Amino acid sequence: EAGVAQSPRYKIIEKRQSVAFWCNPISGHATLYWYQQILGQGPKLLIQFQNNGVVDDSQLPKDRFSAERLKGVDSTLKIQPAKLEDSAVYLCASSPLGGRWDEQYFGPGTRLTVT
Amino acid sequence: GIQVEQSPPDLILQEGANSTLRCNFSDSVNNLQWFHQNPWGQLINLFYIPSGTKQNGRLSATTVATERYSLLYISSSQTTDSGVYFCAVAGGGNKLTFGTGTQLKVEL
Question: Domain residues of chain A, as ranges?
Answer: 5-114
Distance of CA A79 to the CA centre of its chain: 11
pLDDT in tens, B32-85: 999 999 888 889 999 999 999 999 999 999 999 999 999 999 999 999 999 999
pLDDT in tens, A96-108: 976 657 899 999 9
- pLDDT of residue A84 exceeding 90: yes
How much is the pLDDT for A92? 97
How much is the pLDDT for A98? 61
* Fold type of domain A5-114: Immunoglobulin-like (2.60.40)
Question: Domain residues of chain B, as ranges?
Answer: 4-107
Short-list A36, A106, A23, CA closest to A72:
A23
At residue A1, the 3 state secondary structure works out as: coil
* Answer CATH for B4-107 from 2.60.40.1510, 2.60.40.10, 3.40.50.970, 1.10.260.40: 2.60.40.10
Q: Do B94 and A31 touch (CB under 8 A)?
A: yes
pLDDT in tens, A41-50: 999 999 999 9
Task: Mark out chain A residues that contact chain B at CB-CB < 8 A.
Answer: 31, 33, 35, 41-45, 48, 55-56, 89, 91, 95, 98-106, 108-109, 111
Q: Are B7 and B102 in contact (CB under 8 A)?
A: yes
Pick A104's closest partner by Cβ from B96, B97, B101.
B96
- For the CA atoms of A35, B71, B100, A8, the dihedral, rounded to the nearest 10 degrees, stands at -30
Query: Could you give the CA distance from residue A33 to residue B76 in angstroms, rounded to a whole number?
Result: 35
How much is the pLDDT for A2? 85
At residue A74, the 3 state secondary structure works out as: coil
Looking at the complex, report in whole angstroms how far the Cα of residue B103 sits from the nearest Cα belonging to chain A: 10
To the nearest whole number, what is the mean pLDDT of chain A?
94
**% of chain B residues with pLDDT over 70:** 100
Q: B102 contacts in A (CB within 8 Å)?
A: none
